[in-house]
C-alpha cells in the first residue's frame, strides 16, 4: 500500500511563515529586537572591527535610523500613494526646529523630549496637510515642482527669520533627552540607539497596519490610476491629504530625534540633497516595501558614512595611482546617479520590491513582449 500524503500538513517553514503573516506586529517587534541585538555584535567581527570602534558604529546606527524614518515616511507618499515629493526635507526641518523651540535655552522653554516627539510629528503633519491642500489637482511633474519649491521655501524662511531662528548661526545648546533622571550623552550612544530602535519598531508596525487597511488599499489605487480610483468611490482628496500628513509626521519624528542628538539646528542642514538622498533610498530599496525601504536606507547611509571614507584610506595606504587622490565622499551624488540609472535599467522595482510592485512591472514587460509586430498584427 502506498502512503497518501495529507495536503493539509504543512512544513515547519510554511507554518512559521503563516504564523508571521497572522501576527505581523509581533513579528516586526521581534525582528527589530533581533536586528538591534545582532548589529552591535556584528561590528566586532573583522573587517568591520577595523573600520571604527564599536561605540562609533552604534552612534552611526542611530544616525542611520534617522534616514530610515525619513525613507519610511517618504515611502508612504511616493511608494504607496504615488505622489512625487521632492521637498521632503522641509518636514524634517520643521520637526527639528519645533524641538529647538520647545526644549532649549534659546526660548527658555523646557518641554521634555518624549512629548516633543508627538508635538513635532503633529505639527509636521499639519503643515503636510497645508502643503497637500493646494496641490490636489496636480500630478506628476507639476506636483514635483510644487513640492520642490516648498522644500526650498522652508529652509529660506528659517534662514531669514533671524529674530526667531538666529539665521545662519542656528540654535545651539538644545537639551538632551532624559529618562527617569538619566541624561543621554554622546559619550554613551547606547541610549540613543535603543530609543531609535523603539521608534522605528513602533513606526513600522503602524505603517504595516495602515498598508493593509482600507486607507492603504486606497493609496495603492490612487497610485495606479487616480481617475479609476475616484470612479470606484474612493475620496481621492482625503486619501492624498492623509498620505502627505502621515509622511510628514514621520519626518517630524526624525527631526526631533536628530536635533536632540546633535543639540544644534541650522538651515544649512535641510538642503535639496537631503530630499534627493532619501528619495534615492526609497527607489533603491524598493518602493512600496517597508522593510525593503528601511534596508535600502540603512545600506546607503552606511556606504555614505563609512565605506566611502574607508575607500579613501584604503587606496591611500596601498598607494594606488589615481585612486589615492580621489575623494570618494565628494562624489557620493555621482555614485547615487549611476546607481539610480543602473537600477532603472536592470531592476526597476528596487533591491527589495514589494510583491505587488514586482508583479506590476513584470506583467507590463511580459505584455509588451507578447504583442506581435505591426505586420504580424495586420496579417492576423
Residue ranges per domain, the chain?
27-33+52-269
Which of 40-49, 268-277, 320-329 bottoms out in mean pLDDT, i.e. has the lowest? 320-329
Output the average pLDDT for the chain: 85
Say which residue, 124 or 4, is predicted with more confidence. Answer: 124
pLDDT at position 371 is 45
pLDDT at position 249 is 95
Reported as a single tens digit per residue, the pLDDT across 270-293 is 988 899 889 988 988 888 889 999
pLDDT at position 377 is 39
- Band of residue 119 on the pLDDT scale cut at 50, 70, 90: very high
Reported as a single tens digit per residue, the pLDDT across 75-88 is 999 999 989 889 99
Average pLDDT over residues 55-76: 94
Answer yes or no: is pLDDT of 266 > 60: yes
Answer yes or no: is pLDDT of 333 > 90: no
Q: How far is CA 165 from CA 158, 168, 170, 357, in A?
A: 6, 8, 6, 43
Average pLDDT over residues 138-163: 88
pLDDT at position 380 is 40
* Alpha-carbon span 107 to 99, nearest angstrom: 11
pLDDT at position 379 is 44
pLDDT at position 11 is 72
pLDDT at position 8 is 59
> Based on the number of CB atoms within 10 Å of its own CB, is 286 exposed (0-12), middle (13-18) or buried (19 or more)?
buried
Kindly calculate the radius of gyration of the chain based on its CA atoms and give it in whole angstroms.
Answer: 23
- Band of residue 60 on the pLDDT scale cut at 50, 70, 90: very high
pLDDT at position 44 is 92
Answer yes or no: is pLDDT of 306 > 60: yes
pLDDT at position 138 is 81
Locate 373 and state its grid cell: 509586430
pTM for the full predicted model: 0.87
Average pLDDT over residues 112-139: 89
For the chain, how many residues are written? Answer: 380
- Band of residue 42 on the pLDDT scale cut at 50, 70, 90: very high
Residues whose CB is less than 8 angstroms from the CB of residue 275 and which lie 6 or more positions away in sequence, other chains included? 85, 86, 87, 88, 89, 151
Say which residue, 316 or 374, is predicted with more confidence. Answer: 316
Report yes or no: 75 and 291 within 8 Å, Cβ to Cβ.
no
Answer yes or no: is pLDDT of 4 > 60: no
Locate 29 and state its grid cell: 517587534
Residues whose CB is less than 8 angstroms from the CB of residue 297 and which lie 6 or more positions away in sequence, other chains included? 64, 67, 68, 70, 71, 72, 278, 281, 282, 285
How much of the chain exceeds pLDDT 90, in percent? Answer: 46
- Band of residue 243 on the pLDDT scale cut at 50, 70, 90: very high
Alpha helices by DSSP H, 161-189? 162-165
Amino acid at each position: 500500500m502506498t502512503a497518501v500524503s495529507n495536503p493539509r500538513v504543512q512544513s515547519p517553514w510554511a507554518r512559521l511563515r503563516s504564523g508571521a503573516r497572522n501576527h505581523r506586529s509581533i513579528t516586526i517587534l521581534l525582528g527589530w529586537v533581533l536586528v538591534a541585538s545582532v548589529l552591535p555584535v556584528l561590528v566586532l567581527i573583522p573587517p568591520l572591527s577595523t573600520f571604527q570602534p564599536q561605540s562609533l558604529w552604534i552612534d552611526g546606527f542611530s544616525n542611520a535610523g534617522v534616514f530610515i524614518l525619513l525613507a519610511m515616511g517618504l515611502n508612504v507618499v511616493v511608494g504607496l500613494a504615488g505622489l512625487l515629493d521632492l521637498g521632503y526635507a522641509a518636514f524634517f526641518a520643521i520637526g527639528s526646529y519645533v524641538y529647538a523651540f520647545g526644549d532649549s535655552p534659546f526660548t527658555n522653554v523646557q518641554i521634555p523630549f518624549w512629548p516633543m516627539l508627538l508635538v513635532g510629528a503633529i505639527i509636521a503633519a499639519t503643515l503636510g496637510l497645508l502643503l497637500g491642500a493646494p496641490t490636489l489637482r496636480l500630478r506628476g511633474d507639476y506636483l514635483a515642482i510644487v513640492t520642490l519649491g516648498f522644500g526650498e521655501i522652508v529652509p529660506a524662511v528659517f534662514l531669514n527669520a533671524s529674530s526667531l531662528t538666529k539665521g545662519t548661526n542656528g540654535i545651539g545648546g538644545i537639551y538632551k533627552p532624559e529618562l527617569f533622571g538619566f541624561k543621554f550623552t554622546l559619550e554613551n550612544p547606547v541610549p540613543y540607539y535603543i530609543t531609535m530602535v523603539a521608534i522605528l519598531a513602533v513606526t513600522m508596525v503602524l505603517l504595516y497596519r495602515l498598508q493593509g487597511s482600507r486607507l492603504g488599499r486606497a493609496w495603492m489605487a490612487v497610485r495606479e490610476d487616480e481617475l479609476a480610483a475616484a470612479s470606484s468611490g474612493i475620496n481621492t482628496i482625503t486619501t492624498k491629504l492623509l498620505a502627505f500628513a502621515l509622511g510628514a509626521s514621520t519626518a517630524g519624528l526624525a527631526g526631533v530625534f536628530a536635533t536632540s542628538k546633535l543639540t544644534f539646528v541650522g538651515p544649512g542642514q535641510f538642503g535639496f540633497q537631503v530630499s534627493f538622498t532619501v528619495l534615492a533610498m526609497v527607489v533603491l530599496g524598493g518602493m512600496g516595501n517597508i522593510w525593503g525601504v528601511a534596508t535600502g536606507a540603512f545600506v546607503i547611509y552606511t556606504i555614505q558614512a563609512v565605506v566611502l571614507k574607508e575607500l579613501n584610506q584604503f587606496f591611500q595606504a596601498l598607494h594606488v595611482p589615481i585612486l589615492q587622490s580621489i575623494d570618494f565622499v565628494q562624489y557620493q551624488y555621482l555614485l547615487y546617479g549611476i546607481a539610480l540609472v543602473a537600477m532603472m535599467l536592470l531592476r526597476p522595482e528596487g533591491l527589495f520590491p514589494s510583491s505587488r510592485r514586482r508583479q506590476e512591472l513584470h506583467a507590463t514587460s511580459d505584455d509588451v513582449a507578447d504583442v506581435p509586430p505591426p505586420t504580424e498584427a495586420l496579417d492576423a
